[in-house]
Amino acid sequence: MTLRTRLILSYVLIIFLCLGIAAISVSLVLQNYRDQVVMTRLDDLTRPIVTQLRSLIRGQTSILNVWTTIQDQAQRNNIFILVVDDKGNLLRQASPDSFSPTINVAGGLPHGFSQDAHGLFTTIGGQPFVYTAFTIGRVSDPAARSETVVLCQPRGSLAVIIAGVIIPFILAALIAVIASFLLAFLVARSVYKPVQSLSRAAETSRRVTMTKKCPLAALPR
């Protein structure tokens, strides 16, 4: 492998490596931004649920009517709505479909907050969730001191985000390589011609000088 080929391959590798690092960094930023968007959406969905639960606590409606409405909201908004006791045990779960498994978290689900909370938790099966939680009074279990309502949604995989970002970065890398080679060719061509002219002029001058110093060299044999 020639030195020129090695330099070209090294140059291409550096471009793809830099853009790969940039793609991963952008993916991390996008994932954090996506988490914030999901938390904001869950916050907006908590308002009607809080209103219904407060009506239930006041005795203005039945738990069957409230839970039917909550289940409908979970299906329409494609989220999980969980009722958790003060020890983190799951009391009720409204799922986006009938095939969703029961959410189990090692150490218990989010609970024990003095105010609304946001964050992430991971199930025993390894699925991460983005959640919003708020504490209410006793709803489903009269013996419980307090209950926490958790609205959660599965967190998008980083690999999926990277897969969506990496293709534009690969195209950008290819464009950068092609553009840089064209630019290098044009610059080299603009520099090569004057250098070649100078080289020819120097060679001609050298020959003239040698002819003057050695006139016999110019005579035909």
Domains of the chain: 3-161 (3.30.450)
Question: What type of residue sits at position 54?
Answer: R
Higher pLDDT residue, 81 or 115?
Answer: 81
Strand partners, 117: 133
pLDDT-derived band at 219, boundaries 50, 70, 90: very low
CB 53 within 8 A of CB 136: yes
Asked if residues 129 and 60 have their Cβ atoms less than 8 Å apart, the reply is no
Q: For 51-95, what is each residue's pLDDT tens digit?
A: 887 777 777 778 788 888 888 988 988 899 988 888 888 888 889
Segments in 58-157 forming alpha helices (H) = 63-77
Residues 53, 66 contacting (CB under 8 angstroms): yes
| Cα 90 to Cα 128: distance, rounded to the nearest angstrom | 17
Task: For residues 173 and 19, give the distance between their C-alpha atoms in angstroms, rounded to a whole number.
Answer: 7
Report the predicted TM-score, pTM, of the whole model to 2 decimal places: 0.60
- The region that residue 108 occupies, defined by phi over 0 for left and psi between -120 and 50 for alpha, beta otherwise, is left
220 confidence band (pLDDT: 50, 70, 90): low
At residue 80, the pLDDT reads 92
Tell me the pLDDT band of 216, cut-offs 50, 70 and 90. Answer: very low
